[in-house]
């Protein structure tokens, strides 16, 4: 029960449960990440957007398809480079992300609530190191 992999898996389960309770039953965490990235940086191409939210190409294609079908984003071919597809939030997508942002903050407060600020900072630092070291492989 003290194995890092087990605890990380359990932490993801807890986060998913809190996501469903606090944030959304219909927008997933990866979908929100994409919407939030577009809110911060409008008109990103699909490849750059996937890099921003750490989604591989096939997952990115699926997330874009689902959000497009729901009318939350729009994708268009770049007029200067036909191979490039730019993605933008629709008004409906902007409304959704603005509704979800405060909910994600509430979820995060519940997730890390048992920790004091120093522990929260340390947790972020350690998780960043673990992810960074293993992403390079």
What's the CATH code of the domain at 74? 1.10.10.10
Q: Report the domain count for the chain.
A: 1
By residue range, what is the domain housing residue 112?
4-135
Total number of residues shown for the chain: 137
Rounded distance between C-alpha atoms, residue 57 and residue 16, angstroms: 23
- The pTM assigned to this predicted structure is 0.88
- Residue 135 structure tokens: 């992403």
Please give the helix or strand (H or E) that residue 66 lies within, else none: helix 57-69
pLDDT in tens, the chain (137 residues): 889 999 999 999 999 999 999 999 999 999 999 999 999 998 899 989 999 999 999 999 999 999 999 999 998 887 787 788 899 999 999 999 999 999 999 999 999 999 999 999 999 999 999 999 988 66
List the 85-89 sheet strands across, edge first: 44-45, 85-89, 73-77
What gap in Å lies between CA 132 and CA 135, rounded to an integer? 5
Rounded CA separation 13/49 (Å): 26
Radius of gyration over every alpha carbon of the chain, rounded to an integer in angstroms: 17
């Amino acid at each position: 029960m003290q194995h890092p992999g087990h605890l990380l898996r359990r932490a993801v389960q807890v986060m998913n449960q809190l996501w469903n309770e606090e944030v959304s039953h219909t927008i997933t965490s990866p979908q929100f990440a994409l919407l939030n990235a577009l809110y911060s940086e409008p008109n990103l191409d699909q490849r750059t957007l996937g890099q921003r939210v750490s989604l591989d190409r096939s997952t990115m294609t699926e997330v874009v398809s689902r959000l497009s079908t729901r009318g939350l984003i729009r994708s268009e071919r770049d007029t200067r480079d036909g191979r490039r597809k730019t993605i933008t939030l629709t008004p409906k997508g902007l409304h959704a992300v603005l509704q979800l942002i405060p909910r994600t903050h509430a979820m995060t407060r519940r997730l890390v609530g048992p920790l004091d600020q120093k522990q929260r900072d340390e947790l972020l630092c350690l998780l960043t190191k673990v992810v960074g070291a293993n992403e390079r492989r």
